[in-house]
Amino acid sequence: MAETTAPETTADATGADTATVTLANGLTCSIPASSPLAKLLKSQRTWVGPSAKERLGILRRAKSVAIVGASPNPARSSYFVGTYLQQSSDYRVYFVNPNATEILGAPAYPDLASLPEVPDIVDVFRKASDIPSVIDDVLAVGAKTVWVQLGIWNEEAAYYGESKGLTVVMDRCIKVEHARFHGGLHLMGFDTGVISAKKQVR
C-alpha cells in the first residue's frame, strides 16, 4: 500500500512525466504522472488536524464563536449550527455576513474586524478557495483558532494557518463535535437519543 504523501513528479529518459511513489515497505517505484493511481495519491490528504482530545480542549476553553459565512436562510447548514450554538452552549455567538443585518435575532456583522470582541473560535462556512483569505482576516484581528466546517478542505490553507501560529480544525462540524463531547452524540457519532430542554454544560 502506498503512503499518503503526494508522489514526487520527475521526467524519465524519454521526457515523459513520472511520479515516484513510496510504498509501505519502503521501496519506491515510478508510475506515469498522468495515471489514475498517481492522481489518486496526489489528491490524498497529508495534513492532520487536532486530535479528539485536543478538539475537546478547544471547545472547553472557548467563550466566543464567530460564524463567518453565516446565513439567514434556515435551509443552510450555518443557520442550523448557529441555532444549536445559541441554544445548546454558553458561547457568545457572532454572525459574520456583509449581506445580512440580522441572523437568528442577533446582529450580523460585515467582517471579523467589526465584532465587539476577538472571538476564540472562528467557524468558517465559505468555499475552500476562500479559506486563505479568511485565515488572513483571522490573523488580522488576533483570533487563535480557525474551525473550517464539514465538507470544506484546503490543505495548503491549513498548513499556512498553522505556520502563522493558528490552531486549525478542518472538515469537521462544530455542532457535531460539541454534541459528541457533551452528551448529544455517542463518540462514534450516533445520536444518543437524549433529548433535553436544558442547556448542555460546556
Domain co-membership, 34 together with 120: no
Domain co-membership, 34 together with 58: no
Cα 201 to chain centroid, rounded: 23
Number of H helices, E strands in the chain: 6, 10
Its domain, for residue 133, covers 52-181
- Under the banding of pLDDT at 50, 70 and 90, the label for residue 28 is low
The per-residue pLDDT for range 75-115, each reduced to its tens digit, is: 999 999 999 999 999 999 999 999 999 999 999 999 999 99
Domain co-membership, 60 together with 89: yes
Domain co-membership, 22 together with 100: no
Domain co-membership, 24 together with 63: no
Q: What is the tally of structural domains in the chain?
A: 2
Kindly tell me if the per-residue pLDDT of 194 is higher than 80. Answer: no
Cα 5 to chain centroid, rounded: 21
Q: Kindly state the greatest CA–CA separation across the chain.
A: 69
> Cell 437519543 maps to which residue?
193
Cα 173 to chain centroid, rounded: 8
The per-residue pLDDT for range 134-148, each reduced to its tens digit, is: 999 999 999 999 999
Q: Which of 168, 155, 159 is nearest to 42 (CA)?
A: 155
| Helix or strand (DSSP H, E) at 18 | strand 17-22
pLDDT average, residue stretch 114-136: 97
Contact call for residues 64 and 37 (beta carbons, < 8 A) = no
* Rounded Cα–Cα distance for residues 139 and 164 (Å): 8
Q: What is the CATH number of the domain that holds 63?
A: 3.40.50.720
Domain co-membership, 28 together with 122: no
Helix ranges (H only) for the chain are 36-43, 52-61, 77-88, 131-141, 155-163, 174-181
Other CB atoms closer than 10 Å to residue 69's CB: what's the count? 19
Residue 5 C-alpha cell reads as: 504523501
Predicted TM-score (pTM) of the model is: 0.72
